[in-house]
Structure formats: C-alpha cells, structure tokens
Structure 1
Amino acid sequence: MYIRPLDKAPALSRPLGAPAPGPPLSSVIGAAARAARLRARLTQAEVANLTAISVTVYNRLERGRMQPSVPTLHRLCAVLGVSPNELLGYPHSLPLEGESARNQLLHRVHHLDERQAQALLQLLPILR
C-alpha cells in the first residue's frame, strides 16, 4: 500500500504549558469598540462620522475584520471616551487625565443605579 507524503510539514503544537493563543487583536479591538459605543449610546454611523471614517470601515473594525491605524485608534478613543488600553483589551490601566477623565467620571456617575447613587452621595461630604 502506497501512502502519499504530505505536501506540507505538519503544524507543530504549542509547547507544553504555553498559554493558548487569545483572540486576534482585531477581534479584541472590535468587541471593545462595540461595547464602548453602546455605553456611549452612539450608532455606528455617528462614530464613523465623528472619527472621519466611512460607516463601512467602522462596521468592519467593530466586527474584527480589520484593525484601525494608530491615528484612527486615537480618534476612536476620543469619540468613545475610552483609553487606548481599553480598546486594546487592557481595561485596567492608569486613569485618564484632564477632560477625558472628567467625561469618563460623568459617564460612570450617570449610569449608577439608585443604591450606588445614594452611597456616592453619602461619601461626598467625607471626601471634602
């Protein structure tokens, strides 16, 4: 019986104990951009317009079909009110500074439930 040789060498498995590869960066950025857009209550068309890209391109970014350029990434961060680290999949980063920090704080305060808002109101006099 003849066994034909493989056209390509078999793929090597990852070394024992090595972490499994995560999702592609384009998927991470897309999922983070979608989550931030929904939190900001913006449509894809609004984000695309504010970042000076086409709706088609933004749709492809959000679905993980392409990665943004560095300038586009920075514009997305400004429009969505998130840090580059958050869009790159590292949500626990250093706090934003200046106007972005203020906007992020206001956004979070607006999304507090009643119990959380009451707790914040009780803490404010202590912090002064």
Structure 2
Amino acid sequence: MDVKINELGTDIHSSWNFKDGDLATITNDDNLVQATKNRLNTRLGSSEYFYSEYGSVLHRFHGWRKNETTLKFMEIALTDSLEQDPRYSNFKLNLELQPDKRVKISVHVVYDDDTELDMDYILNTDGTVEES
C-alpha cells in the first residue's frame, strides 16, 4: 500500500515559546520529528485515557546490558511503537550502540516516490531521547 501524505501535521512547538501573541507551532517534517521524540519519551500506557497505544517501552531497557541482543529487542519494541502512528506505514529503523553507551536511533520514513525523511535521535544513559 502506497500512502501519499502531503501534510504531516501541525502541533504546538515543544519549546512553548510565543510568536505573534500565540504559542509557536511546528509543521510537517519538523512536527514528525518532534512527535516521534515525544512518543519515544512517553511511557506506554501513561496516556491511556487519551490514546490507547501511545508511547514506548524504552524505559524498560534501562539497566539492560548494552549489546546487540538488547538492541534487537529495542528495535522490535520501537517498531511496534512507531507503527501506531499512521504516518509510519513505510519506514526503516536502525539502532547503533555508541562508544559512550548511548544508543543512536535512526529512522528513515518513505511516504511516496518523492517524499522521504531521515531522523536521528540519541537515547541517553538516563533513558531520555533527544534529537541528534
């Protein structure tokens, strides 16, 4: 199934700054980057009154051994989490252990023949995800 998405959404920018007397917004690719970071940093089930499957289980891997086996389990969990967002119908995920024990999370999303997006995040040793 080939999904064509021209509009990737609009949301309040996570900086919570004001622009022209109103909260600043974020749109399209930037919105998807922010939305992905928010999803990965939110514990699955913590927003169950609003969203049935919003969030991730990354926090469950805190304290696990930093090795390829753990990265495979994390990849499965993250794939399941991202698939809950309809904008992620065709994507590739790559996790890479960094020398400082952080995990690089790379996401490549394909929308159609002309639209692709690469996003990179870092899972810090404290369990938070940041844009890299």
Q: TM (normalized to structure 2)? A: 0.25
Q: Which has the larger radius of gyration?
A: 1
Q: TM (normalized to structure 1)? A: 0.25
Return the structure number with greater strand share.
2
Return the structure number with greater helix share.
1
Higher RCO, Cα 8 Å, sep 6+: 1
